[in-house]
Copies of this chain bind each other. A is one copy, B any other.
């Protein structure tokens, strides 16, 4: 099955069903012709996060437009219940990088959190969403991670769903090893919180530690950059509690 999936994939917001004709104009048309260099007769996978993945064929191309026909479903929709990632926005390349890698690693929600030492006070959510869509297209996901409105760390408690654990990467090393926590996890949904460059303030870590839904974790004896810690947290989760026991062919 895995080898029959087209490598080229496109996310669309439209409903998808067999025999549907789609007239792509503007950016998607340019992407198909100019970036992916697809021409008449070529096939690609399309998905919308709800209806699974479908095989589409290019019927015709013109200036700034591209007509496709949806042929058949390649994969049914399925849940992608990955963890949430809460991260302090870092400098631009850092954020783009975190979005891309977290999407590849199956995150279900990306949630920017402002902390005392957060360098960047503005986040362009449209830009983050575009990055997440590109990464989802390339990594064969069937969903796009949700990009949540940024929140101040001290407002998190009042917005946090009580059935979800929040695993905080405590760079003081006071938590248990993350693998140990995840390996014995009770099956509840989870979020992973990673601090900014320069770390959390001590008062922030102390306040987090007092929250009933928080577990503190450590990521070993070296100092990891913020983006490395984010990736590491998600890798540990997927490898030990997530979907990495499934093969590519599923």
Q: Give chain A's interface residues, CB within 8 Å of chain B.
A: 2, 100-101, 104-106, 138-141, 171-173, 177-180, 218-225, 228, 231-232, 235-236, 238-240, 242-250
A231 to chain B: which residues have CB within 8 Å? 101, 228, 231-232, 235
Q: Is the CB of A245 within 8 A of B180?
A: yes
Within the oligomer, what is the number of copies of this chain? Answer: 2
Q: Is the CB of A218 within 8 A of B232?
A: no
A228 to chain B: which residues have CB within 8 Å? 101, 104-105, 231
Given known pairs A231-B235, A236-B235, the reply for A173 and B220 (CB within 8 Å) is no
Distance in Å: Cβ of A176 to nearest Cβ of chain B? 9
A219 to chain B: which residues have CB within 8 Å? 244
Complex Cα distance, B208 from A239, in Å, reads 24
A220 to chain B: which residues have CB within 8 Å? 106, 238-239, 242-244, 246, 248
Closest to A172 in B: B248
A236 to chain B: which residues have CB within 8 Å? 235-236, 239
Q: Is the CB of B235 within 8 A of A247?
A: no
Of the A-B pairs whose beta carbons lie under 8 Å apart in the complex, a sample of 21, sorted by A's number, is A101-B228, A101-B231, A104-B222, A104-B225, A105-B222, A105-B224, A105-B228, A106-B220, A172-B248, A173-B249, A177-B239, A179-B240, A179-B244, A179-B245, A220-B242, A221-B244, A221-B248, A223-B248, A231-B231, A231-B232, A232-B235
